Amino acid sequence: MFMWMIKRDLLLAMRRQSDVLTTLFFFIIVVSLFPLSVGPEMNMLRTMAPGVVWVAALLASMLSLGRMFSNDYLDGTLEQMLLSPQSLSFLVLGKALAHWLVTGVPLVLMAPVLGIQYDLPVEALFVLTAALLLGTPVLSLIGAIGAALTLGLRGGGVLVSLLVLPLYIPVLIFGAGAVEANMAGVGFDAHLSLIGAFLLVSLVFAPWAAASSLRVSLE
């Protein structure tokens, strides 16, 4: 059933490619605008690169959070998910994973290409990609809680950012920190380990929290 959930969401994403592309283009545009506006000062660009890429990834992932459950809520499929004999947490995990595959993975793949604009050394590009690979699933998982809590509310979009952003900040700090540490010649393992720890914790708790919020939202 878990696989069906992922398959369904990927199928839906394929039928509505505009939704997926919006997120990706937003990310590309934000990251590309900075070098153009700041000017070709290599040192400055190199220092700001990790921060800019991570902030853009954060905002891009948040852009698509509203759609995570709202369509299913409106057409009644969410109701049916709640009544599935499979535990709701698993289904939510499936949905979060599908959300990551659709919005997170394209960002991870684009990041090294965009990083070239900032004159990042090759090793830093690898670290940036690795950090995003570990960090973007956390964004989808934590985002699922926010999306579930604000389901069916008017102005849910603003509320979701208020709820979710504070929880995103640790990932942002350590994600950008990993790249900075690498460029400064210090080890970046600690940063990546911490993001890995966030990932594990959110893998366990986020689906459960989101599932409970969905039950409350649908009552």
Partner 1 sequence: MLQGISLACVRGDRELFKDINFSLEAGGLMQVRGPNGSGKTSLLRMLCGLSNPAAGEILWNGASIRSLNGDYFAAMTYIGHLSGTKDDLTVIENLRISSALAGYEINDTQASEALGYMGLGGREVLPVKILSQGQRRRVALARLLVCKTSLWILDEPLVALDVLAVKLIRELLEQHLKQGGMVVMTTHQEIDLTATSTTQLHLA
Q: Is 93 helix (H, G, I), strand (E, B) or coil?
A: helix
Would you count residue 211 as binding partner 1 (CB under 8 A)? no
**Cβ pair 146, 164 in contact under 8 A:** yes
Would you count residue 15 as binding partner 1 (CB under 8 A)? yes
**Which of 40, 76, 155, 185 touches partner 1 by CB under 8 A?**
76
Q: 118 — phi, psi (to 5°)?
A: -100, 10
Q: Is 40 helix (H, G, I), strand (E, B) or coil?
A: coil
| Options 1-9, 46-54, 141-149, 195-203: segment touching partner 1 (CB under 8 A) | 1-9
Would you count residue 39 as binding partner 1 (CB under 8 A)? no
Residue 132 to residues 3, 104, 153, 177: CA-CA distances in angstroms? 24, 8, 31, 12
> d(Cα 147, Cα 125) in Å, to the nearest integer?
31
Nearer to partner 1, 117 or 212 (CB): 212
Would you count residue 1 as binding partner 1 (CB under 8 A)? yes
Would you count residue 20 as binding partner 1 (CB under 8 A)? no
Instruction: Please name the amino acid found at residue 8.
Output: R
Q: Which two tokens stand for residue 126?
A: 């690898």
Would you count residue 40 as binding partner 1 (CB under 8 A)? no
* DSSP for residue 41: -
Minimal distance, residue 2 CB to partner 1, in Å: 10
Q: Which two tokens stand for residue 200?
A: 């594990």
> d(Cα 216, Cα 68) in Å, to the nearest integer?
17
**Which of 41, 42, 77, 109 touches partner 1 by CB under 8 A?**
77
Would you count residue 68 as binding partner 1 (CB under 8 A)? no
Would you count residue 18 as binding partner 1 (CB under 8 A)? no
In the stretch 122-141, what mask flags binding to partner 1 with x, by CB under 8 A? --------------------
Residue 105 to residues 97, 127, 136, 193: CA-CA distances in angstroms? 10, 16, 8, 20
Nearer to partner 1, 60 or 81 (CB): 81
Would you count residue 218 as binding partner 1 (CB under 8 A)? yes
> What is the gyration radius of the CA atoms in the chain, in angstroms?
18
Would you count residue 17 as binding partner 1 (CB under 8 A)? no
Binding residues (CB under 8 A) for partner 1: these are 1, 4-5, 7-8, 11-12, 15-16, 74-77, 79-87, 91, 218-219
